[in-house]
Amino acid sequence: MNDWLGRAAPDLEAIELMAHATVADLPAQFAEPARGVLIRVEDFAPEEILDEMSVEDPFELTGLYEGIPMTEKSVMDVVDRPDTIWLFRRPILDEWAERGDVTLGQMVAHVMIHELAHHFGWSDEEIAEIDRWWE
C-alpha cells in the first residue's frame, strides 16, 4: 500500500492526450469545430494570464479559453493566433485529488468541455445552468 516509489503524477503529455480523447468522443456537430482549437497544457497559468484575470492563487484556474467564440466570429476578424484552450495540470490534479469521486479522465474532460462551451459561445452563467458538476 505504501509503494508509491517510482510512481509519478501524469505529465503534461498525458493530460493533453486525455483532452484530445475528449474531443474525439464529442458528437460530430461539436467534434469538428472543436478540432480547430489548439490545446495547450502547462503546469500553471502563466503570470500574465493570472494578472490579467486578477487570480491570486494559481491553483484556482484549471483551464481557460482564449479566442473569439464561434457566435462572435466574422470574416472581418483579423486572426493573430488560433483559438486556444489552456489546461493547467497542477490545479487539475489538485481538484481531482480533492474531489475523490471522479477519474482523472473525467476531470480533464469536464474542464475541457467547459472551455469548449466558451468556444461555442456560452457564458459561464449558461454553462452553470446545465452543468451541475460542482453541486
**Is 44 among the domain residues?**
yes
**Is 64 among the domain residues?**
yes
- Find all residues with CB under 8 Å of 55, minimum gap 6, and list them: 45, 49, 61
Query: Distance between CA atoms of 126 and 130, rounded to whole angstroms?
Result: 7
**Is 124 among the domain residues?**
yes
Q: Per-residue pLDDT for 30 more than 60?
A: yes
* Mean pLDDT along residues 52-72: 93
If you search the block for the grid coordinates 459561464, which residue do you land on? 124
The more confidently predicted of residues 35 and 133 is 35
Mean pLDDT over each residue of the chain, to the nearest integer: 88
Q: Which amino acid is at 56?
A: E
pLDDT of residue 74: 73
CA quadruple 23, 27, 28, 30: dihedral sign = negative
The helix (run of H) or strand (run of E) holding residue 42 is strand 38-42
pLDDT of residue 71: 85
**Is 2 among the domain residues?**
no
* Domain housing 58: 12-68+80-130
**Tens digits of per-residue pLDDT, 66-116?**
998 888 877 776 667 889 999 999 999 999 999 989 999 999 999 999 899
**Is 54 among the domain residues?**
yes
Q: Per-residue pLDDT for 124 more than 90?
A: no
Number of domains in the chain: 1
Confidence of residue 2 (pLDDT cuts 50, 70, 90): low
* 88 and 43 Cβ atoms separated by less than 8 Å: yes
Choice among 1-10, 34-43, 56-65, 87-96 with the minimum mean pLDDT: 1-10
Query: Distance between CA atoms of 54 and 127, rounded to whole angstroms?
Result: 21
Q: In 3D, which of 65, 91, 101 has the Cα closest to residue 9? A: 91
CATH number at residue 41: 3.30.2010.20
**Is 6 among the domain residues?**
no
**Is 55 among the domain residues?**
yes
**Is 4 among the domain residues?**
no
If you search the block for the grid coordinates 469548449, which residue do you land on? 116
